[in-house]
Amino acid sequence: MPFIAIYITFDSEESAKEICYGLIEKRLVACYNLFPIASAYWWQQEIQSDNEFVAIVKTVAERWEKVVELVERTHPYEVPCIMKMEVSANESYENWVREQVADF
């Protein structure tokens, strides 16, 4: 039973933890992983190079729109990167993810 992983970039570890913890508190995601990354991209007609953090959050497809809504509302970037990927995992992990975001 596939679920989704959502890749989100952030300007700081603090910002990432605050937003991702809020996603967990609201039961929109089961968990998150956080990694430091180096990024380069076009922004306002110039190439930018920054150190960022990326979070990978795991949830079910039915929670996608609510995750995007919360992240866009609270994210410090004008145009945050929020990418959805359908993933599969071992059955016990997929079941755990679904249980964590189930309606209570």
State how far the Cα of 80 lies from the Cα of 60, in Å rounded to an integer. Answer: 21
State how far the Cα of 53 lies from the Cα of 84, in Å rounded to an integer. Answer: 17
pLDDT value of residue 103:
79
Average pLDDT over residues 4-23: 98
Average pLDDT over residues 86-93: 95
- Beta-carbon contacts of 63 under 8 Å, excluding residues fewer than 6 positions away, are 28, 29, 101
Note the helical H segments in 13-63. 13-25
CATH 3.30.70.120 assigned to domain 3-100? The reply is yes
- pLDDT tens column, 26-71: 999 999 999 999 999 999 999 999 999 999 999 999 999 999 999 9
- pTM for the whole thing? 0.94
Q: What one-letter code names the amino acid at 36?
A: P
3-state secondary structure of 67: helix
Domain boundaries, the chain: 3-100
Q: Average per-residue pLDDT in the chain? A: 96
